[in-house]
Structure 1
Amino acid sequence: MDADRFWTLPGVTGGIRREGFTVLAPNRLYRPPDWDAEIEHLAAFLPEQPVAVIAGSNGCSAAVRLALALPNRIARLLLAWPATAGDSTVDSHTRAGLAALGASDQNIRALLNGQTLRGVTDNELATLTMPVSVLPSAPENPFHQRRTVDSLRRVLPASEELPGFPEPPRPDFPSHLDRFLASITKFADR
């Protein structure tokens, strides 16, 4: 999944731009060996001034790692459809996919390990200082379970939960686009 398929083709980046925002939607690093490599890659896209970051699915882990590494550059953080960690069925599916791409067992463990989110401990999550909002998948699915949102809200008690929506690549997303854009632009404009 790349940024075009997740954010651009479903109309999210264009909709945010129409609301007057500058949008950066970089692709995540292709086959990163670890989270540090991913953060180094993403940090190169950040402007000097603090920005609102909207992350989706597994990108939530990357965004949290980025916010932990560069807290002064992230003004607000929205974790949309956070990918569920620690589910044996989901993890085995993801592990098989990563192995098929040639990832080593060590790299797979590094990418999948975590508590509420992959690649992040709950103690690390609890140190985030910027405002955080969480957007659940509605309806939930095996990869984006409600329990992940509930756990994030427990670890980040000051976080806000936004209304849930299906993920942009899903066929039922277009009917939710306008409400989704209203929700996330309100988040970014605070």
Structure 2
Amino acid sequence: MPDIDPRHHSSDGVTLVLVHGGLWGESDAERFWHRPGIVRGLSERGFTVLAPERPRRPADWADEARHLAGALPDRPVFLVAGSNGCSAAVRVAAQQPGSVRGVMLAWPATAGDASVDRLDREQLAGVGATEPVVDALLAGETLRGTTDADLAALRVPVGVMASVPSNPHHQRHTVDALLRLVPGAVELPGSPEAPVPWFAEHLPDFLATVERFAAMRA
């Protein structure tokens, strides 16, 4: 990404909405954004930062999108989504483009992998999700909860960050597909996912990437 001259950019007045990962209460904003220092770090850079909780027991991704849309303030925001939270963010950006200045998809969760879906199906069933709910949450093409046609129709700026190193739940080919499908999507420097312990050494670079992406799209 090109360098941004700080004389020409201020984070003041820019609102970031952080959408955490997980499925059915597997994670929360505290574990995903607060504990790794992301909320504090972005706030110190001058952003207004909101990190709402996703619904703990959604029936489907439409339910997720309604919940997230209801948590947005009455001004345009940047959505910074992680892992499975990317599905909710994309749906909101598609449905309310006037409310979204840009979307950063960090470590997007891989859809359609039989081994991964089997593990997630077992995890969801283990916490009480019914079969129709599990089917709805795992359905999708490149991203769960969306079709590739939905992604190709997005009309907001999108940045995509790969998980480095990649892993079964966050595979490189998902990032490549998003970059092909979403008009104008740009690849951002990758990092480990926020909840893992070794993310800490990558925190400064992650914060700088968010700041640069928001500056370029402001």
TM range (shorter): over 0.9
Q: Select the residue among 27, 30, 35 that pairs with 2:53.
A: 27
Whether contact under 8 Å (2:154, 2:183) holds in the other structure is no
CA deviations 1:100-148 (Å, max 9, x no partner) are 1111111111111100000100001111101000000001011100000
Runs of 4+ displaced beyond 3 Å = none
Asked whether the 8 Å contact 2:162–2:172 carries over to 1, the reply is yes
- CA-atom RMSD in angstroms: 0.9
- Check whether the contact 2:81–2:105 (CA below 8 A) recurs between aligned residues: yes
Residue aligning to 1:178: 204
Q: Is 1:103 aligned to residue 129 of structure 2?
A: yes
Contact 2:106 2:161 in 1 (8 A): yes
- Mapping of 1:15-164 within 5 angstroms? 15-164=41-190
User: Whole-Å Cα distance in 1 between the matches of residues 98 and 55 of structure 2?
Assistant: 22
The size of the alignment, in residue pairs, is 190
Deviations 1:43-78 (Å, cap 9, x if unpaired)? 111112211100000000010111122111011000
Sequence identity of aligned pairs in percent?
54
Partner SS for 2:78: strand
Q: Secondary structure at the match of 1:117?
A: coil
Alpha-carbon deviations, 1:22-43, whole Å to 9, x = none? 0010111111011121112111
Deviation of 1:157 after TM superposition, in Å, equals 4.3
More strand by share: 2
Helix, strand or coil at the partner of 2:42: helix
Residue 194 of structure 2 is matched in structure 1 by 168
TM-score, normalisation: structure 2: 0.85
Residue 182 of structure 1, CA deviation? 0.4
Is the partner of 1:136 in helix, strand or coil? Answer: strand
Name the SS for the 2:191 alignment partner: coil
- TM, length-normalised to structure 1: 0.97
Counterpart code for 1:137: S
Unaligned stretches of 5+ residues in structure 1: none
Amino acid corresponding to residue 10 of structure 1 in structure 2 = P
Unaligned runs of 5+ in 2: 1-26
Structure 2 SS opposite 1:172: helix
